[in-house]
Each structure stands twice: as structure tokens, then as C-alpha cells.
Amino acid sequence: MVIVTPFQRKKKQRYLVLIIIIALLGTIFIVWYKFLPKQSSVSRSLPEKPPRIDINFNILKDPILTNETGLKSFEGIPPFNPIDAGRSNPFQPY
């Protein structure tokens, strides 16, 4: 039968704590260098002037858009009549 002394038990606990600390530091190191964004070494400068955007509004004068057979205006939504809306018991199955 093997007898384990308290000194040997403390020695095993120290090794276990040391291994846990090394594993924790290794995990922190991996997360730090792989997942956190790296700082740019390039100096910040003003962005270039954006290009000028020209919009051609002449397309809106196209006869298809101004003709009656083209686009039609929306007539609107009829007013809400609460008498015709819903069922008396909305939880009742159909």
C-alpha cells in the first residue's frame, strides 16, 4: 500500500496550479495576438477629396414616365372601418 504524505500532496497541488497558470497565460497570449486588432503603423492623414457625383435628372422627363400609360399615382388607402375588422373571438380556430 502506498502512503501519500501531506508534503507530496502539496507538491502535486503546486504543479497543478503552475500548469493552470501556464495554460491561462498561453490562452491570453493567443487571444491577444490572433483576435485583437493590430494598431496601424501608418500615420493618419486626411482622406482624398471624394469624386464629384453628377445625377442625370433628364431621365425623369422620359415620355414613358409622363404618359398616362406609364406610371400611375397611388389612389390612397380607404379609411379604416372598425366594425368590419377582425373577429369577435380572435383565439377561436377557423
Number of domains in the chain: 1
Give 24-69 pLDDT, tens digit per residue: 999 999 988 888 777 666 667 777 888 899 999 888 887 777 766 6
Integer CA distances (angstroms), 34 to 20, 27, 40, 42, 72, in order: 21, 11, 15, 20, 57
Cα–Cα dist 74/77, whole Å = 9
Cα–Cα dist 59/71, whole Å = 14
Average pLDDT (88-93) is 86
In a domain, residue 67? The reply is: no
In a domain, residue 63? The reply is: no
Host domain of residue 1: 1-36
Instruction: Sort residue 76 into left (φ over 0), alpha (ψ -120 to 50) or beta.
Output: left
